[in-house]
């Protein structure tokens, strides 16, 4: 009886210790697997971090290179703008503009027309803002020709009949919109100055209009404006020494 009880106790102890050993081995295996996983994960993380650091270093290098290229391009742009401004200043200085261009064009036209260069030189050198004029302007009025107004008191003369002045305009309209014989002073008018010999000078535009006519050693300065009487144009002329 004692032997049986002792044998049972011994078996229970063996099962206990064997269970403890298996549990310890399982726990050790779990710890080992965890440690291995941590080690592998740590290595992978370090490798990834290393790769990312290399990529960051590469991008930083490219960014620095781009910055240097930007600075170089900025300097080139500043140099190009400075060159452009220099050429613009030279162009403004060397190439005539405004009235000078008009004078050059007019001089070329006169030279091509056969005008003596010495005559042009004399006229330009003799030009001055101060003019010697008679101081006795003469005013005359006449009817402006329109589509419904033709002939009869439609011209005046100046300079002992050497200059004949006529004008054409657009017909005015009444309150109902019908055309009238008189011209409309608010629309453009064409004034013609006919010289002895057949030459003509014309000027067109809204009134008042101003025009100069040269005959020999005299310059006649004209101003045209609407007269007080409907349909009439008033022209005032004054003779000045030329040049």
Q: Could you tell me if 187 and 146 are in contact, meaning their C-beta atoms sit under 8 angstroms apart?
A: no
Three-state secondary structure of the chain: CHHHHHHHHHHHHHHHHHHHHHHHHHHHHHHHHHHHHHHHHHHHHHHHHHHHHHHHHHHHHHHHHHHHHHHHHHHHHHHHHHHHHHHHHHHHHHCCCCHHHHHHHHHHHHHHCCCCHHHHHHHHHHCCCCCCECCCCEEEEEECECCCCCCCCCCEEECCCCEEEEEECCEEECCCCCEEEEECCCCCEEEEEEECCCCEEEEEECCCEEEEEEECCEEEEEEEEECCCCCEEEEEEEEEECC
The model's pTM: 0.50
The predicted structure's pLDDT at residue 233: 96
Write out the chain's pLDDT in tens, 243 residues: 555 666 777 777 777 777 777 787 777 788 778 787 777 777 777 777 777 888 888 888 888 888 888 888 888 888 888 888 888 777 767 666 667 777 788 888 888 888 778 767 766 765 655 668 888 899 999 999 999 988 789 999 999 999 999 999 999 999 898 999 999 999 999 999 998 878 898 999 999 999 999 888 889 999 999 999 999 999 999 999 887
Residue written as token pair 């107004």: 149
Q: Which residues pair with 63 in a beta bridge?
A: none
Predicted pLDDT at 194? 94
Confidence at residue 3, expressed as pLDDT on a 0 to 100 scale: 57
Question: How many Å apart are CA 154 and CA 49, to the nearest integer?
Answer: 102
The angle at the Cα of 52, spanning 51 to 55, to the nearest 5 degrees, equals: 90
């Amino acid at each position: 009886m004692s032997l049986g009880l002792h044998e049972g106790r011994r078996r229970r102890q063996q099962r206990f210790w064997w269970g403890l050993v298996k549990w310890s081995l399982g726990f050790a295996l779990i710890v080992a697997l965890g440690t291995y996983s941590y080690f592998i994960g740590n290595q992978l993380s370090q490798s990834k971090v290393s790769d990312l650091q290399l990529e960051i270093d590469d991008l930083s290098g490219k960014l620095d290179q781009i910055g240097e290229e930007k600075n170089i391009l900025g300097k080139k742009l500043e140099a190009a703008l400075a060159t452009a401004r220099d050429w613009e200043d030279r162009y403004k200085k060397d190439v005539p503009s405004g009235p000078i261009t008009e004078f050059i064009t007019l001089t070329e036209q006169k030279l091509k027309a056969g005008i003596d260069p010495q005559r042009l030189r004399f006229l330009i050198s003799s030009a001055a803002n101060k003019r010697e004029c008679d101081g006795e302007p003469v005013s005359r009025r006449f009817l402006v020709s329109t589509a419904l107004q033709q002939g009869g008191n439609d011209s005046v003369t100046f300079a002992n009949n050497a200059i004949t002045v006529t004008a054409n305009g657009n017909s005015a309209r009444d309150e109902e919109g019908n055309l009238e014989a008189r011209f409309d002073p608010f629309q453009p008018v064409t004034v013609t100055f006919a010289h002895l010999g057949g030459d003509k000078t014309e000027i067109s535009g809204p009134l008042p209009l101003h025009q100069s006519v040269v005959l020999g050693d005299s310059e006649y300065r004209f101003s045209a404006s609407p007269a007080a009487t409907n349909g009439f144009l008033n022209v005032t002329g004054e003779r000045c020494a030329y040049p």
